[in-house]
Amino acid sequence: MWALSLKVAVTAVCVFSLLAVTRIRRLEPVFSGFLVGLLTGTIGLCVHIPAKESVDSSILLRVEEPPRHPQTDQIVFVGRDLLAASQGLLRCTAVDLPWRHATRLRQGSVVWVRGAVMPVERPLNPFAWEGWLWRGGIGGAIKVRYVSEALEHHVSFMERTRDLVARAVRGVLDERRGGELLLSMAFGYRDVLSSPVEKSFTALGLKHLLVVSGYQVSLVFGVWYAIALGLMRLMRIAYSVRAIVTLFALLVSAVFVLFIGVELSALRALVAAACVCATQVFERAGGFAQRWGVALLIVELLSPWAVFDMGVQLTFAALAGIGIGSRLARGGLGMSFVWVTTCVWLLTSLVVLVWNGSLSLVALPLNLIIAAPWSFLNCVVGGCGVILLIGSKRLGEPVVQLVAWVNEVLANVLLELAESPLKAVVLQGWSRWMVCAAFVVCVAAISVRATHHSPLISSGHR
């Protein structure tokens, strides 16, 4: 449980980050200092109460997020202890058996659980598994032996909307692989894909397509920005067109993030988009490095010490790759796409190498060839098809069927590639660190070249 509530943190961030991003002269150091002070103060005020160790405890929990199935016979969910004074979070792991009622758990369910509790203490090593749990505010881990039937359900409006979308897609496609890929890639549904499909995406460096993050949020923002801009021009509305269109696209992106469940990966992308939008609305130059830094500060404020998480590092490595690659392109839209994709691959691959030594050389051509159109197909075409499907089955069914068919064809290709020598290799020992050093040299070289072409930090008005 954090000392500052989420509403207070978000309000403070929105006010002061907008002022800091827009580079108000003479006052910029004041706002930047306040933001840094608020960040460090939040980390210092962090209160973590570990759960009490027990070999046999009965606890009344409310499920705080949709349960996950990391393995076929296992279910994992996070619950809030409703009887404890601190009402701390507990991570529950249970074997998926019918008499344990775990398969019927949903977000908002209130249940009794029984099992062994292990407290989560603040770790010395921030990269450890316990560090990840501690940063999430989890006070203990439970090996569950029994789960009762749900005493009550609290289903939010967004959860009901997600159920409506899932029923609409499965009503047309049943449980075909193409439909499950649509739900996963466009709407962030978890645990709908088979283990071989997920492993093939991971082995080929395309796992980011299955997790709604910056890729998908950027697509939603860009498409709605283009639609709104076109409508404004058709209606010949010239007053503050860029500001209105930017805020509208940001609002749609925020609704999309709320729909998928405000996961940290999507929230990071929304924060970064908000920083970019601030410079657009207030027509300030800001500079890429400044927006990147402010976005990182905001993420740190919302989730203290989040910079130690691999997902956060991958997100901001990808953002840095976008910023560097966009300044290297001198040959139109096509070359810009190639440079951006290459830089993002270099930086994100370096993070993965440092963490687990995994490297996929085929990830670069696959990201260049199919990642962007495949995401566009599901997020934009598939998303519009699902909206049509809910309104009129006759109009939406052909679109959804087409998207599902393409998904199945591409998934079969990936399954074949994942069984070939082209899949990711795991480097160990000196070979791993030598490849990391080579990647660092490449990143440094392209960063110098990008800075020479166009400074990453700019100032003044456009």
Sign of the dihedral defined by the CA atoms of residues 80, 84, 86, 91, in that order:
negative
Q: Are 344 and 318 in contact (CB under 8 A)?
A: yes
d(CA 299, CA 266): 11
Which pTM does this prediction carry? 0.75
Reported as half-sphere exposure (CB side, CA atoms, 13 A), residue 362 has a value of 17
Q: What is the pLDDT of residue 330?
A: 64
The residue assigned the tokens 């160990």 is 428
d(CA 72, CA 57): 26
> Residues with Cβ < 8 Å from 120, sequence gap 6 or more?
50, 51, 130, 133, 134, 138, 139, 140, 141
d(CA 440, CA 184): 33
Q: Which of the 8 DSSP states describes residue 68?
A: B
Which one, of 290, 296, 307, lies nearest residue 269 by Cα? Answer: 296
Q: What angle do CA 430, 352, 65 make, to 5 degrees?
A: 145
d(CA 422, CA 200): 11
Yes or no: domain 54-147 corresponds to CATH 3.40.190: no
Strand partners, 113: 59, 147
d(CA 138, CA 119): 9
Reported as half-sphere exposure (CB side, CA atoms, 13 A), residue 100 has a value of 19
Q: What is the pLDDT of residue 399?
A: 92
> Residues with Cβ < 8 Å from 122, sequence gap 6 or more?
48, 134
Q: Are 147 and 337 in contact (CB under 8 A)?
A: no
Instruction: From first to last of the 462 residues of the chain, give the pLDDT tens digit.
Output: 333 444 455 555 555 555 554 444 555 555 555 555 555 555 555 567 788 888 888 999 999 887 888 777 788 999 999 988 777 889 999 887 766 677 778 888 899 999 999 998 877 777 788 888 887 788 899 998 888 888 877 777 777 888 888 889 998 888 889 999 999 888 888 778 888 888 888 888 888 788 777 777 878 888 888 888 888 777 776 656 777 788 888 888 888 888 877 666 677 777 777 766 666 555 554 566 777 777 777 777 667 677 788 878 887 888 888 878 877 766 667 777 888 888 888 888 888 888 888 888 788 888 888 888 898 899 889 988 998 988 888 888 999 999 999 999 999 998 888 887 767 788 888 888 898 899 989 888 888 887 766 555 444 433
> Residues with Cβ < 8 Å from 265, sequence gap 6 or more?
211, 212, 213, 214, 311, 315
- State the SS3 of 326-364: HCCCCCHHHHHHHHHHHHHHHHHHHHHHHHHCEECCCHH
> Residues with Cβ < 8 Å from 276, sequence gap 6 or more?
291
Q: Are 338 and 372 in contact (CB under 8 A)?
A: no
Q: What is the pLDDT of residue 461?
A: 39
d(CA 182, CA 188): 9
Q: Are 378 and 408 in contact (CB under 8 A)?
A: no
CA 401 to chain centre: 27
Which one, of 245, 216, 212, 206, lies nearest residue 229 by Cα? Answer: 245
Burial of 425 (0-12, 13-18, 19+ CB in 10 A): middle
Domain residue limits, the chain:
6-45, 54-147, 207-453
d(CA 236, CA 229): 10
d(CA 399, CA 389): 9
Q: What angle do CA 211, 424, 263 make, to 5 degrees?
A: 15
